[in-house]
Amino acid sequence: MRILVAGGTGAVGRRLVPMLVAAGHDVTGLGRSPGRLELLRATGARALAADVLDASALRRVVADAAPDVVVHQLTDLSAAVPADNGRVRREGTRNLVDAALAAGVRRMLAQSISWAYAPGEGPAEEPVPLDVDAPGPRASMVGSVAALEAAVAEVETHVVLRYGILYGPGTWYAPDGAVAAALAGRPDAPPFLGSLRPGPDVSSFLHVDDAARAAVAALEWPSGPVNVVDDEPAAGRDWLPVLSGALGVPAPAPVDDAERTPWARGASNALARARGWAPRWGSWREGFPAMTATPGAGDAGGAGGPGSAGGPGGAGGSIPAGGRERTAAEARA
Ligand SMILES: NC(=O)c1ccc[n+]([C@@H]2O[C@H](COP(=O)([O-])OP(=O)(O)OC[C@H]3O[C@@H](n4cnc5c(N)ncnc54)[C@H](OP(=O)(O)O)[C@@H]3O)[C@@H](O)[C@H]2O)c1
Ligand 1 atom closest to the Cα of residue 51 is 32
Cα of 221 vs centre of ligand 1, distance in Å, is 24
Q: Is the CB of 114 under 6 A from ligand 1?
A: no
pLDDT at 305 > cutoff 50 = no
> What is the Cα–Cα distance from 209 to 275, expressed in whole angstroms?
18
Query: Which comes out higher in pLDDT, residue 314 or 207?
Result: 207
Q: Are strands 202-203 and 234-235 parallel, antiparallel or unpaired?
A: antiparallel
Q: In 3D, which of 27, 24, 20 has the Cα closest to residue 3?
A: 27
For 15-35, the pLDDT digits (tens) are 999 999 999 999 999 999 999
* 8 A C-beta contact, residue 222 and residue 271: no
Q: In 3D, which of 144, 139, 146, 171 has the Cα closest to residue 316?
A: 171
> What is the Cα–Cα distance from 17 to 27, expressed in whole angstroms?
7
Categorize the per-residue pLDDT at 332 as very low, low, confident or very high, splitting at 50, 70 and 90.
low
For 199-221, the pLDDT digits (tens) are 999 999 999 999 999 999 999 99
Nearest CA, atom 9, ligand 1: 315
Identify which of 16, 38, 75 to mutate to test ligand 1's pocket (most ligand atoms within 8 A of the CB).
75
Residue 74: predicted pLDDT: 98
Cα of 14 vs centre of ligand 1, distance in Å, is 10
Residue 304: predicted pLDDT: 36
Q: Is the CB of 11 under 6 A from ligand 1?
A: yes
Ligand 1 atom closest to the Cα of residue 13 is 43
Backbone angles phi, psi at 5, to 5 degrees: -105, 100
Q: In 3D, which of 293, 310, 134, 294 has the Cα closest to residue 205?
A: 310
Query: Which comes out higher in pLDDT, residue 321 or 112?
Result: 112
Cα of 76 vs centre of ligand 1, distance in Å, is 5
Residue 333: predicted pLDDT: 54
Residue 294: predicted pLDDT: 63
Q: In 3D, which of 235, 242, 237, 252 has the Cα closest to residue 198?
A: 237
What mean pLDDT comes out for the span 90-106? 98
Query: Which comes out higher in pLDDT, residue 236 or 319?
Result: 236
Cα of 121 vs centre of ligand 1, distance in Å, is 31
pLDDT at 308 > cutoff 60 = no
The lowest-confidence range among 104-108, 113-117, 252-256 is: 252-256
* 8 A C-beta contact, residue 287 and residue 207: yes
The fraction of the chain above a pLDDT of 70, given in percent, is 88
Identify which of 12, 51, 76 to mutate to test ligand 1's pocket (most ligand atoms within 8 A of the CB).
76
